[in-house]
């Protein structure tokens, strides 16, 4: 179970890192979005779309980690195999289209989630 708790915390950390990098790497883009008042300031610019989606998708990663932590706490059982399968699947699809990316981390976390866990 400690492994699964570590996986959940790693998802939270990965999401926070994704958020920080999204803001840092696209700071100038976010400044332009702020200058335009945020509301309806993304489309049709591709750089703004890329910055928005990279940054915004950090939140579901954090949510998945928090949800896994809650599930572990409430049930006292290991994560369902489906969590590992989803992480591997999402990571594999992402890595296929963007090999030089962080999608490999999802594959690693998913593979770890699929390892057998001793329940005490």
42 has pLDDT over 80: yes
Amino acid 120: pLDDT? 62
- Calculate mean pLDDT across residues 95-106: 96
CB 54 within 8 A of CB 26: yes
Helix (H/G/I), strand (E/B), else coil: 18: helix
Q: CB burial class (10 A; 0-12, 13-18, 19+) of residue 32?
A: middle
Amino acid 117: pLDDT? 81
Amino acid 11: pLDDT? 98
3-state DSSP helix/strand/coil percent for the chain, to nearest 5?
A: 75, 0, 25
Amino acid 118: pLDDT? 76
């Amino acid at each position: 179970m400690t492994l699964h708790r570590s996986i959940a915390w790693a998802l939270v950390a990965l999401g926070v890192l994704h958020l920080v990098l999204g803001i840092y790497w696209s700071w100038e883009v976010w400044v332009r979005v702020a200058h335009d008042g945020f509301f309806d300031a993304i489309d049709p610019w591709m750089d703004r779309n890329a910055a928005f989606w990279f940054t915004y998708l950090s939140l579901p990663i954090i949510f998945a980690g928090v949800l896994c932590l809650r599930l572990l706490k409430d049930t006292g059982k290991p994560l369902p195999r489906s969590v590992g399968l989803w992480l591997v699947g999402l990571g594999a699809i992402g890595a296929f289209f963007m090999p030089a990316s962080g999608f490999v981390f999802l594959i690693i976390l998913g593979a770890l989630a699929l390892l057998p866990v001793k329940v005490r």
